[in-house]
Structure 1
Amino acid sequence: MFVSHRRPGPGKVVSPRDVCPDTGFARLSYGQARALLDEHTAVRGPGTGWDLHEYRHSPLTHLGEQGASLLMLMAKSRHKKPENVRRYFKPSPEAIAELTSLLAPGGSRR
């Protein structure tokens, strides 16, 4: 979660979901987080930095590597089509090696 550098003001009503439980800081909007990330990673001027959307694959990849089914990944990401979820699931080389080790003679892991 990307959070601001301050707590919400006394007159500001903020959902508990939008406040970090550890610091009490308010969550940044998607637009604010996108602008800050671009500003601090731009190499050739505005609009050339990293994109928040690039980070979308991480949670789905971790859940998939831990054995979550395709249906659960679709529910989590709110995708309607399996091919859209597959775009964000990028297993690590270690996860692929572990899966491949299941094919070893005798079913033993390396």
Structure 2
Amino acid sequence: MPDSDTPVRSRMEIDRLIARREVELREKTLYRMLYETAARIEEILDVNIEDLNLAGRRCPVKAKGARAKTRRRGQAREDLVLETVYWDAGTARLLPRLLKGRTRGPVFITHRRPGPGKVLAPRDVCPDTGCARLSYGQARALLDAHTALGGPGTGWDPHELRHSALTHLGEGGASLLMLMAKSRLKKPENVRRYFHPSPEAIAEVTSLLGPGPRR
């Protein structure tokens, strides 16, 4: 859960990051998808191509703390209660370019095959390229490298994209119930921790209290 020190990145900062030439297509897609879905990075990295509904701009994810439908050993992912995340036009434009005709396996994969001593579940390997699923550690290091201004470890954290998305939705007028639905958080107090309106947004809403016609 984020605290009051979690930075909120502006839309302009996020757009500029994704537009940079040195940011590869894989990372552009990941960052845009994290922002538009307001999902946790672990949820998005776990998605496989078979899960995607490209036409509907949505997919099921294994949510944090997801409970099993049944309690048995060796349960499959399909035995867990899944939740749906939604994305918009930015992600919809990038995903087909990233997949390049791939129809199975992880959406986000590494550029190299795993070493000979590394054993992975079949679901975590692309059957077409043999490359493994991109890990949280790798994705976090890439984002840090793209955004660090004071040396390694000073860049953005992936969670800031979720945090920023929910704050921007709140500033745009989304209701508490809609923010709960988008974030898939069950308690209103947990949603409020994500919503840190900017001084500009507070000034704008304050203008409604001024004399004259309401803006």
- Length-normalised TM-score, structure 2: 0.38
Opposite residue 22 of structure 1, the aligned amino acid is: R
Mapping of 1:5-44 within 5 angstroms?
14-15=49-50, 17=52, 21-23=92-94, 24-26=97-99, 27-28=107-108, 29=134, 31=136, 32-40=138-146, 41=148, 43=150
Q: In 2, distance between residues paired with 1:95 and 1:88?
A: 15
Deviation of residue 50 (structure 1)?
A: 2.5
Deviation of residue 92 (structure 1)?
A: 2.1
Point out where structure 1 has 5 or more consecutive residues left out of the alignment.
6-12
Higher deviation after alignment, 36-45 or 92-101: 36-45
Q: How many residues align?
A: 101
Given that 1:42 and 1:50 are in contact with CA atoms closer than 8 Å, whether structure 2 keeps it comes out as no
Match 1:95 to one of 181, 192, 201 = 201
Identical pairs, percent: 60
Mapping of 1:66-105 within 5 angstroms?
66-105=172-211
Q: In 2, distance between residues paired with 1:72 and 1:17?
A: 23
Which deviations, in whole Å up to 9, do the C-alpha atoms of 1:34-60 show, x marking residues without a partner? 131134438455x55431112222211
Deviation of residue 15 (structure 1)?
A: 3.3
Q: In 1, distance between residues paired with 2:135 and 2:194?
A: 19
Opposite residue 160 of structure 2, the aligned amino acid is: E
Q: Name the structure where strand makes up a greater proportion of residues.
A: 2
Q: In 2, distance between residues paired with 1:107 and 1:30?
A: 53
Q: Name the structure where helix makes up a greater proportion of residues.
A: 1
Opposite residue 25 of structure 1, the aligned amino acid is: L
Which deviations, in whole Å up to 9, do the C-alpha atoms of 1:12-33 show, x marking residues without a partner? x723739854342045356142
Q: In 2, distance between residues paired with 1:67 and 1:49?
A: 29
Which residue in 2 is equivalent to 1:10? none
Q: In 2, distance between residues paired with 1:39 and 1:108?
A: 45
1:48/1:91 Cα in 2 relative to 1: closer, same or farther (>3 Å)?
closer
Point out where structure 2 has 5 or more consecutive residues left out of the alignment.
1-17, 19-23, 28-47, 55-90, 100-106, 109-133
Q: In 2, distance between residues paired with 1:51 and 1:92?
A: 19
Given that 1:79 and 1:85 are in contact with CA atoms closer than 8 Å, whether structure 2 keeps it comes out as yes
- Length-normalised TM-score, structure 1: 0.67
Q: In 1, distance between residues paired with 2:149 and 2:198?
A: 27
